[in-house]
Amino acid sequence: MKRPGRNEPCWCGCGRKYKACHSAFDDKMLTFGDKGILLPDHDIIKTPEQIEGMKKSAAINMAALDYVAEHIKAGISTQDIDDWVSKVTLDMGGHCAPLGYEGFPKSVCTSINDVVCHGIPSKDEILKDGDIINVDVSTYYEGYYSDSSRMFLIGEVSAEAKKLVDDVKRCVEIGLENVKPWTTLGDMGSKINEFAMSCGYEIVREIGGHGIGLEFHEDPYVSYVTKAGEEMLMVPGMCFTIEPMVNMGKHDIYIDDDNGWTVYTEDGTLSAQWEVQIVVTEDGYEMICW
């Protein structure tokens, strides 16, 4: 950890001297570092101004998802969802973060049934009765990123599919209950995994949550398959997503060879995911985007 001199300006940019600002905070972090726990770099700890910026971005993100929630139904195409998200976002002055991100061709990810994530909207893909779909929206607005996703049930859905969707929502709630400063991401993630496994599901290993704010994807990586006590320390001001991808069958996945994006369950079972974006506070978390 790089520490300023006691009388130098604090690294958080508040303008106060380090000794009067984050010096005690860093002392506390270092006691965890001494125990071998991974510490966050200062540059991923958000200032109050940055948190305000993320909330403005999130307002657009959630408005786009609210629009989808009101209009999604059997017979529409996933391209329709892309058009809606794009219009709501641009009308509110934002940009769709997925568009062009590492070459992603559309403005939103739409992942149906056994598609785990990164489904590419298409006018040829029509929602039908019984489908479950994840719509993953990410926004850039005036320097700040936001990211959340929701599941939607199309028409009459099987009892087991509905249960999966509900259980995965519970996974995220359990994650939120376990966002506590001065504990680790492994403490939080392992609780999610315990619950998912108790339902007979498996959580995808290779793709998880992520830090977010000034970049779409920042440190830390948020896993749900690591153990309690492992992974990065959570400290106030850290901002990240909780977004477990939960498969009804095995955790194994594969990526579509033709487009290099769409991720499927290897065994063809259903997969569900909800994503929220939070900031760690002194006594838990504050919701930024859902």
Residue numbers at the binding site for ligand MF3 (CB under 6 A): 98, 101-102, 104, 109, 118, 136, 138, 147, 210, 243, 275
Note whether 147 binds Co ion by CB under 5 A: yes
Q: Which stretch binds Co ion (CB under 5 A): 38-46, 89-97, 107-115, 143-151?
A: 143-151
Query: If contact means CB under 5 to 8 A according to the sort of partner, which of ligand MF3, Co ion, none does residue 104 touch?
Result: ligand MF3
**Shortest Å, Cβ 206 to ligand MF3:** 13
* Spatial contact of 212 and 239, defined as CB atoms under 8 Å apart: yes
C-beta atoms surrounding 60 within 10 Å:
24
Q: What is the DSSP string of 44-95?
A: GBPPHHHHHHHHHHHHHHHHHHHHHHHH--TT-BHHHHHHHHHHHHHHTT-E
C-beta atoms surrounding 157 within 10 Å:
17
- Compute the distance between CA of residue 168 and CA of residue 242 in angstroms, rounded to an integer: 11
Q: Contact letters (x/-) for Co ion, 51-90, by CB under 5 A? A: ----------------------------------------
Instruction: Name the phi and psi angles at 236, rounded to 5.
Output: -55, 135
List residues bridging with 238 in a β-sheet.
45
CB-nearer residue toward ligand MF3: 21 or 213: 213
**Shortest Å, Cβ 243 to ligand MF3:** 5
**Shortest Å, Cβ 274 to Co ion:** 11
Query: If contact means CB under 5 to 8 A according to the sort of partner, which of ligand MF3, Co ion, none does residue 34 touch?
Result: none
Vertex 143: Cα angle to 245 and 260 (nearest 5) = 40
Q: What is the DSSP string of 97-162?
A: TTTTGGG--SSSEEEETTEEE-PPP-TT-B--TT-EEEEEEEEEETTEEEEEEEEEE-SS--HHHH
Vertex 203: Cα angle to 173 and 115 (nearest 5) = 100
CB-nearer residue toward ligand MF3: 27 or 206: 206
**Shortest Å, Cβ 43 to Co ion:** 19
Note whether 146 binds Co ion by CB under 5 A: no
**Among the listed residues 89, 139, 226, 241, the single contact to Co ion using CB under 5 A:** 241
Note whether 273 binds Co ion by CB under 5 A: no
Query: If contact means CB under 5 to 8 A according to the sort of partner, which of Co ion, ligand MF3, none does residue 11 touch?
Result: none
Find where tokens 């339902």 sit: 199
* Spatial contact of 232 and 185, defined as CB atoms under 8 Å apart: yes
CB-nearer residue toward ligand MF3: 187 or 275: 275
List contacts with Co ion (CB under 5 A).
147, 241
